[in-house]
Amino acid sequence: MATHEIRDLSEVKSRFAVYLRVEKGLSANTATSYAADVDKLTHYLSSADIAVEQVTAAQLDTFVCTLQDVGIGARSQARIISGIKSFYRFLRLEGYVDHNPTRLLASPRLGRHLPEVLTLDEIDRMIAAIDMSAPEGQRNRAIIEVLYGCGLRVSELVNLQLSNIFVDEQYVVVLGKGDKQRVVPISAVALKEIAAYLEQTRSHQVTKRGCENILFLNRRGGQLSRVMVFYIVKQLCELAGVRKVVSPHTLRHSFATHLLEGGANLRAIQQMLGHESITTTEIYVHIDRSRLREEILRHHPRNSHA
Task: Tell me: pLDDT of 176 over 70.
Answer: yes
Catalytic choice (125, 182, 208, 275): 275
More confident residue, 279 or 58: 58
Q: What is the mean pLDDT of residues 1-30?
A: 80
Kind of pairing, strands 181-185 and 171-175? antiparallel
Please state which architecture CATH assigns to domain 9-94.
Answer: Orthogonal Bundle (1.10)
Tell me if residue 75 is catalytic. Answer: no
Q: Which among 272, 302, 299 is positioned nearest to 284, based on CA atoms?
A: 272
∠ CA(6), CA(12), CA(14), 5° rounding?
165
Tell me, what's the pLDDT at 171?
A: 92
Active site residue 171: no
Catalytic site residue from 153, 234, 253, 258 = 153
Mean pLDDT of 114-137: 92
pLDDT band for position 214 (cuts 50, 70, 90): very high
Looking at residue 54, what DSSP letter applies? Answer: G
- Catalytic residue, from 13, 40, 125, 177: name it: 177
153 given a catalytic annotation: yes
In the predicted structure, residue 44 carries a pLDDT above the cut 80 = yes
Taking only the tens place, the pLDDT of each residue in 226-274 is: 889 988 999 999 999 998 888 888 898 898 888 888 887 778 888 888 8
SS (H, E, C) the chain: CCCCCCCCHHHHHHHHHHHHHHCCCCCHHHHHHHHHHHHHHHHHHHHCCCCHHHCCHHHHHHHHHHHHHCCCCHHHHHHHHHHHHHHHHHHHHHCCCCCCCCCCCCCCCCCCCCCCCCCHHHHHHHHHCCCCCCCCHHHHHHHHHHHHHHCCCHHHHHCCEHHHEECCCCEEEEECHHHCEEEEECCHHHHHHHHHHHHHCHHHCCCCCCCCCECCECCCCCECCHHHHHHHHHHHHHHHCCCCCCCHHHHHHHHHHHHHHCCCCHHHHHHHHCCCCHHHHCHHHHHHHHHHHHHHHHHCHHHCCC
Q: What is the largest CA-CA distance in the chain?
A: 68
pLDDT computed for residue 141 by the predictor = 97
CATH architecture of 120-294: Orthogonal Bundle (1.10)
Average pLDDT, integer, range 97-102: 86
pLDDT at 286: 61
Who wins on pLDDT, 60 or 287? 60
Catalytic residue among 21, 141, 226, 249: 249
What is the structure's pLDDT at 268? 82
Q: Which of 79, 234, 252, 258 is catalytic?
A: 252
Q: Where are the domains of the chain?
A: 9-94, 120-294
What Rg value do the Cα atoms of the chain yield, rounded? 21
pLDDT tens sequence across 47-69: 888 888 888 888 888 888 777 66
Rounded to whole angstroms, how far apart are CA atoms 19 and 14?
A: 9
Residues 6+ positions from 35 with CB-CB distance below 8 Å? 13, 16, 17, 20, 83
Residue 249 among the catalytic residues: yes
